[in-house]
Structure 1
């Protein structure tokens, strides 16, 4: 189709690849918004739910941690569960981005989107 056009044909391929990459990144972002990760602390006494984009969506707290004299322990467990959920969300997002870069033949450590 673009045989006699030399580098213009290569440019068309590059533009198509860029469009494909953009579509994959958009789809991945949507998928991450719908994916739930769960962070835990205190051997499961506190669980935090978040989207794989890191948005906290819920907490599940075992009532046994609500002892008035243990207020600081409860706060620490809640914070630890939230941080664990956020870390899992970040790992998931990086893993999905790495899949896209590998599919496109880009270096695995390349940061997307640009």
Structure 2
């Protein structure tokens, strides 16, 4: 019985750590860039868009499609960085736990 109680306490502690990590990830910002820095986006590790910075040289009606593509590319770059930041924090939290490979907690 003591083992079960100990496991339940560990599970509750882990649940609290995961909730804290989720809240923290909303404050972690990453930047995604495209076009050699012509378009820069800032997003949280949870994926919330915070800012877009567009080089004024791209403000040309003839280059509308290029600008749109660069924004999409910058968002994709930021998403990859946000995913890596999340994975790093989760790996630190779950280090040493006997979790099955590939288990996603977020």
Taking structure 1 as the reference length, the TM-score comes to 0.84
Mapped contact 1:98–1:109 kept (Cα < 8 A): no
In the alignment, the residues of structure 2 paired with residue 79 and residue 111 of structure 1 have an alpha-carbon distance, to the nearest angstrom, of 26
Deviation at 1:104, TM superposition (A): 3.4
Residue 63 in structure 1 maps to residue 56 in structure 2? yes
Mapped contact 1:101–1:107 kept (Cα < 8 A): no
What is the alpha-carbon root mean square deviation over aligned residues? 1.6
In the alignment, the residues of structure 2 paired with residue 25 and residue 103 of structure 1 have an alpha-carbon distance, to the nearest angstrom, of 15
Residue 72 in structure 1 maps to residue 65 in structure 2? yes
Residue 27 in structure 1 maps to residue 13 in structure 2? no
Q: Could you say which residue in structure 1 is the equivalent of 2:10?
A: 17
Unmatched 5+ stretches in structure 2: none
The correspondence of residues 1-114 of structure 1 with structure 2, limited to 5 A, is 8-106=1-99, 109-112=102-105
In the alignment, the residues of structure 2 paired with residue 15 and residue 83 of structure 1 have an alpha-carbon distance, to the nearest angstrom, of 39
- Indicate the SS of the match to 1:53: coil
Q: Could you say which residue in structure 2 is the equivalent of 1:4?
A: none
Deviation at 1:31, TM superposition (A): 0.9
Please identify the structure whose Cα radius of gyration is greater. Answer: 1
Unmatched 5+ stretches in structure 1: 1-7
Residues 54 and 36 of structure 1, relative CA distance in 2, 3 Å threshold: same
